[in-house]
Amino acid sequence: MAENKERTFIAIKPDGVQRGLIGDIIKRFEQKGFKLVGMKMLHASQELLNKHYADLSSRGFFPALIAYMSSGPVVAMVWEGKGAVKTGRVMLGATNPADSSSGLTGSQCIVNIIHGSDSVESAQQEISLWFTPEELVTYQSCAFDWLY
């Protein structure tokens, strides 16, 4: 039963928000059977983004990434379900838009429209960075028995 409660962090980046793709992205995750347990729209602070992308801070594109991510609102979400991290990454497609067929990438590697956790551990870390425990809800979806 615990594997049905795996959580992943998904963020719609400024490009996706500006292009009006929020609803389409949410729809894809709902149709896949995942349960939305947290969501908020915010202008991510430089401090939050520096923590979130700390593992990339030595890369040459880091300043451009932070500038892009702070250029507009972001929709941060937590999705729950069996295999949420791995399935979420598959749904997002390759980071390089030229290698992705998902339709969830932008025109450049840095300017892609969505972020998804790449492991259960990073999901836990990212969720705790973007959300307080009080901002996440626990409930059983009426579709639970149909899905699991």
Name the residues annotated as catalytic. Answer: 115
How large is the angle between the packed helices 84-92 and 120-130, nearest 10 degrees? 90
- Spatial contact of 6 and 83, defined as CB atoms under 8 Å apart: yes
List Cβ neighbours of 123 (8 Å cut-off, separation of 6 or more): 6, 7, 8, 9, 84, 85, 117
